[in-house]
Chains A and B, each alone.
Chain A
Amino acid sequence: MLKREIAKRVFAKEFEACRELEKSERPASEADSKSPNLLISPLGLILNRVFAVGVLTELDSIGTQNEMWKARIVDPTGAFTVYAGQFQPDASIFFSTAQVPAFIALTGKARIYEPEPGSVFISIRAEEVNVVDEEIRNRWVVDTAEQTVDRLEVFSDALASGYRGETLREYLLERGVSEELAEGISIILERERAPQEFAKQLRASIREGLKALNFEAEDTAEAKADQKEFVLELLREMGGGKGVDYASFVNAAVSRGVPEEVVEEVVRSLLAGGQCYEPKIGIIRLVG
């Protein structure tokens, strides 16, 4: 039975610091050819699939022969590097029309590339990507912080116990820690030289990130609703049902005093809300 891999919640800072989990380190039952490539973080988190929500800050088309997108998605602790190519058609289509910046949610598989010893590149190969709102981003940060802090506490406990290897694994299991995390922590403590240093930095990062969260999105909600109405009206007027050229639509809106960012944002939310869509790149069309 091949179970669906869980989409782990992990901050970019911890994700970036992951290294490959050698097959020989895994429990015998898992180390066959079908098992996914697993990474292990400095805190002992074992992962393959991740779910991340952050701000899309950079987007490049880097493919020469085939389509390939490279994106940077920023969370409060750092940035994820994300790739989508011809084998991730849904994610590629998304990136081909995505606007920078935007809150986006994505699931994907962790990838590691080590061209030479000492230089390691960790990235996500995107599976599904979508535009989300700030509320979803905030919730992701809080959810991820909670799961990371839970892990940090287990990790501190493991360090403080002074046990190693099999004894440590059993100690953790006895304390109700999941089998996977117990395994991960006992593996990583064999490897890491200064495990507490990373934990300390991560704690500081999360603390800063949480303090920076803005929960007062509601204040601006009303003003946004008005702008949305105006842009929607303009889109109708210009024959949105048949489709309009996006660039000329933006020009028309700007000439009526709506800033370009606002138009972009409204169109994005219309797209996200399903009220309009892009039959072709650069053409937007109202639904219904």
Chain B
Amino acid sequence: MDEKIAPHLEELTRALGDIDKTGIRAEFDKLLAFHVPPEVAKETILRKFGGKRKVLKVKDLSASLKNFEIIGRILDIGEKALRPQEGVQAGPSKLYTGVLADETGSVMFSSWKELPGSVGDVINIKNAYTRLWQNRIRLSIGEQSLVSKVSDSSIPQLSELSKTSAKKLIDIGAADFSVNTVACILRLSHREVPVRGKQSKVISGVLADETARLPFTAWVELPGIDIGSIIRIEGAQIRMFRGMPSINLISSTKVSSVGVEEAEKLAFTFESAAKDPALLKIEEIASKDSMFDVVAAGNVVSVRPGSGIISRCPECSRVVLKANCRVHGKVEGVRDMRIKAVLDDGTGAMSVMFPRELAEVIYGKTLEEAEQLMFSDISKDAVYEDLRRILTGRYLAVRGNSSNGEYGVSFVAESAWVPEDDLAVRVVELLRRLGLDEEYPGSGVSRGGISLA
């Protein structure tokens, strides 16, 4: 028997480390005890604990990742005692929480077991996972995770990591809780909102640098700062709002104007940052958790059900089905129109929502005209079918915000148009690129990789 399983054990050890110590051996034996063939048991374990594990940096973390490896320095750690519920078998009774950092950022973590290290130590976590907790990413260390202390490592020292890192806007994400950045103000507006019964002033707007734009909110006054100002922000909070990071300037945040001399050294000016955003590939949009105010273009490869004329609850604007609102029960719905379409550019696909004003433009019919069509036809899906006939295959550019969730990227369009780039110019460029082979028949490809240079 042992002879049969020995090679499998050896392979597991090679892939996963010391399997006796980590309880993997016990798990393997358990499967064998249930008469699972050793070959299958090995694969099950490899699948569970991941033979080919990805090593991630903090900045690569996104919600609901599984089975990855990460190395970081513990910045902070604390423990919480959990009282087991009555009648429930005693599970883990302590939860360890803290902050883990590497050179790319820091992330909050929670662990169900005691970690082999304290503040300042570098640890390696295998089979870690992430989840969203209070709208932000949390690194989770569970029963199946293997944690070891690393003595020698290239992770920067504690003093350096504890400083809040300066970040470009594009790198700010759900893993951040406090950031420093330099950006300019593109939009600004003042509002009064009730906070705990008191009217409070709040400033909201949009910040930009050469990499991206992000919304911000200030709960403090910003004297001398206006649209066009380039500011340095230190210790701003990151809040997640509808899947999008938003920079929150609070009383402990330091905001200062950037001087003319320093501003000249920046990679952006107000003019360059205020320009319309450049067209991105959908692949790039899909690689981020969320993006604010970006442009993409592609073909409408599908118009989704639920597009066309819909009915909304007059109280909460939720979509009403069969005159029933999820929250307010039977209501007299208000008619509205929207389009949900899949936009695909060959590098990625995303679901785009067009609200009424845009739906009317790209459909070419107003809500009233669409209603007439609905009433003049026997088919209850007349408008949806008409939309499919008009939109499927069409090429559109959209500008708006994206967020990446369980069902892929969803994009809310704020404007939409048919791009008018010159195909003839692109053809000339393509012919030039294709022509290289003819001009240099001896180079590269045609001689099987032997270069004549």
Contact = CB atoms under 8 A, between A and B. Distances in A.
A107 B431 contact: no
A128 B388 contact: yes
B347 interface: yes
Contacts of B378: 279
B448 A159 contact: yes
Contacts of A271: 389
Nearest to A273: B390
Given A107-B302, A139-B423, A200-B437, A146 B430 contact: yes
Among A107, A147, A199, A206, the one with the most B-chain Cβ atoms within 10 Å of its Cβ is A107
A246 to B, nearest CB: 17
Given A28-B51, A51-B299, A273-B390, A207 B431 contact: yes
Contacts of B91: none
B313 interface: no
Nearest to B342: A4
Contacts of A206: 430, 434
A196 B301 contact: no
A112 to B, nearest CB: 21
Contact of A161 (B406, B446, B449): B449
Interface string A65-109: 000000000000000000000000010000000000000111100
Interface in B355-405: 364-365, 369, 372-373, 376, 378, 386, 388-390, 392-395
Contact of A146 (B52, B390, B426): B426
Interface residues of A, number: 58
A178 B302 CA distance: 25
Interface string A142-157: 1111110100010010
Interface string A197-213: 00110010011001101
Contacts of B372: 288
B302 A128 contact: yes
B342 A160 contact: no
A274 interface: yes
Contacts of A107: 301-302, 344
Contacts of A199: 445
B346 A143 contact: yes
Contact of A200 (B52, B392, B445): B445
Interface stretch (A13-21, A33-41, A56-64, A130-138): A130-138
A6 B344 CA distance: 7
B452 to A, nearest CB: 11
B423 A156 contact: no
Given A28-B51, A105-B392, A288-B376, A159 B449 contact: yes
B431 A132 contact: no
Given A142-B426, A274-B390, A147 B346 contact: yes
Given A132-B393, A139-B395, A51 B427 contact: no
Contacts of A136: 299, 393-395
Contacts of B427: 142, 145, 210, 213
A160 B434 contact: no
B388 A130 contact: yes
A130 B392 contact: yes
Contacts of A53: 393
Nearest to A163: B449
Given A3-B408, A287-B373, A130 B393 contact: yes
A51 B445 contact: no
B433 A51 contact: no
B365 A274 contact: yes
Contacts of B388: 90, 128, 130
Contacts of B347: 6, 147
A134 to B, nearest CB: 11
Given A3-B408, A130-B392, A178-B283, A196 B430 contact: no
B348 interface: yes
Contacts of B302: 107, 127-128
Interface in A24-59: 27-28, 51, 53
A51 to B, nearest CB: 6
Contact of B449 (A162, A207, A210): A162
Interface of A: 1, 3-9, 27-28, 51, 53, 90, 104-107, 127-130, 132, 136, 138-140, 142-147, 149, 153, 156, 159-162, 178, 196, 199-200, 203, 206-207, 210-211, 213, 215, 271-274, 277, 279, 287-288
19 contacts: A1-B64, A4-B342, A4-B408, A51-B299, A105-B299, A105-B392, A128-B301, A142-B430, A146-B430, A156-B444, A196-B446, A196-B448, A203-B437, A210-B434, A215-B423, A272-B390, A274-B364, A274-B365, A287-B376
Closest 4 CB pairs of A and B: A105-B393, A130-B392, A9-B346, A132-B393
Given A7-B344, A104-B393, A199-B445, 7 more contacts: A1-B64, A7-B301, A128-B301, A149-B434, A160-B451, A215-B424, A273-B390
